Amino acid sequence: MRKGIQNLENSENKNYKIIAVDDEEGIIDSLSIFLKRSGYNFTGVTNPQEAIERVQKEHFDLMILDFIMTPFHGDQVVEEIRKFNKELYILLLTGHKDLAPPLETIRKLDIQGYCEKSDKFDQLLLLIESGIKSIAQMHEIKKINEELKNTNEMLEKAYLESIETLRYTVEAKDTYTKGHSDRVSAYSVLIGKSVGLSENDLKILQIGGLFHDIGKIGVPDSILLKESKLTDDEYSEIKNHPSIGAHILSTATIFQDIIPIVKHHHEKYDGTGYPSRLKGDDIPYLARITAIADSFDAMTSKRTYRDCLPLDTVIAEFKRCKRNPI
C-alpha cells in the first residue's frame, strides 16, 4: 500500500520540472540522483548564465539555486530571471547560513526559501514538497481565473445578444433608427477617443450609442412614423422616450452603465433639455458626448421634412450653441 502511494506521488512529480544551478558538479550529480529517485523531472546546470538562458527558453516550475557561484552569485541570477519571469519558484542553497543574502534581498527578489547545503537532503526535500504544493495551488488559481474569464466572455456575449434583440425590436418600428443608432455609436466613440477616455468608457459609449433610442419602443407608431410636423402634444410624447428607455433597462444590472446615456442624451447645457432639465456639469459626461454625436447625425441625415444640412451649417450651429467644452 505504502509503495503504491509512493509510486503515485512519483508519477505526479513528473508533471513538475525542476532546474538546479550550482557550479559544483558533485552537488548537481547528487541532486540529480536524489530528485529523479523522487520522480521529479530534473535538469542540472553548472553555469549561471546558461541557467538564465534555459529558464528564458524553457518552462520550469522550481529552481534550486546555489548562492556563492562563479562568475556571479545566485542573487544576480535571480535578479536577471525576475526581469522576464515572475512566477518561477526559487529555493536558495547556501554553504552556511552566515553566507546567505540579507532577508531584504530575499524578499526583494521574491526568493521563496533557502536552506544550508548538507549531505542529507531531508530539509531540501521538505522545501521542495512545500514549493510544489504552492505551485499546484497557483496552477489551480490560474485554471479558475481562466474559467471565470471564459464565463465572463459568455456573459458578455449574452449581453450583446440581448442588446441586438432589443435593437431589432425598435428598428422594426422605426427603420430610421438603425442607421442613426449605428452612426451615433461610432461618432460617440470617435469623440471619446479624441478626449482620451478609457477603454471601459469607450465601450459604454459604443453600447450606449447603439441603445440610446430604445425608449422609442414605447412611442405610438402614429407619432413615430408621422411625416408631417408634430403637434405640441405629439412632441411631448416623443420627449418621453429617454425616460421610457431608462425604465425599460432599470431592472437589468448589466445595463446600469448605459442608463445615464439613454436617459439624458437630450439634456441641454443651458438646462432647457429633457427629461430632467439638467444643466451644465450635472449632465452625465458620457451623455453629453452622446448628445453631440446624436445632434451631429440628426443634422447631417435626410429627414422626411428636410434634406441633410451642409457641413458648414452644422459646424456653425455647434459654435452658436456652444457654452463650455464638454
The residues assigned a catalytic role are 216
| Cα–Cα dist 244/183, whole Å | 22
Q: Look at residues 65, 50, 54, 59 and name the one whose alpha carbon lies nearest to residue 16.
A: 59
What is the distance between the terminal CA atoms of the chain, rounded to a whole angstrom? 75
State the DSSP code for 102. P
Alpha-carbon separation of residue 56 from 50, 85, 100, 109 (angstroms): 10, 8, 25, 17
C-alpha cell at 135: 505551485
Contact present, 210 and 177 (Cβ < 8 Å): no
- Which H/E stretch holds residue 70? none
CA angle, 154 then 158 then 159, to 5°: 115
Q: Cis peptide before 71, with omega less than 30 degrees from 0?
A: yes
The contacts of residue 38 (CB under 8 Å, 6+ apart) are: 10, 13, 125
Question: How many other C-beta atoms are found inside a 10 Å radius of the C-beta of residue 99?
Answer: 11
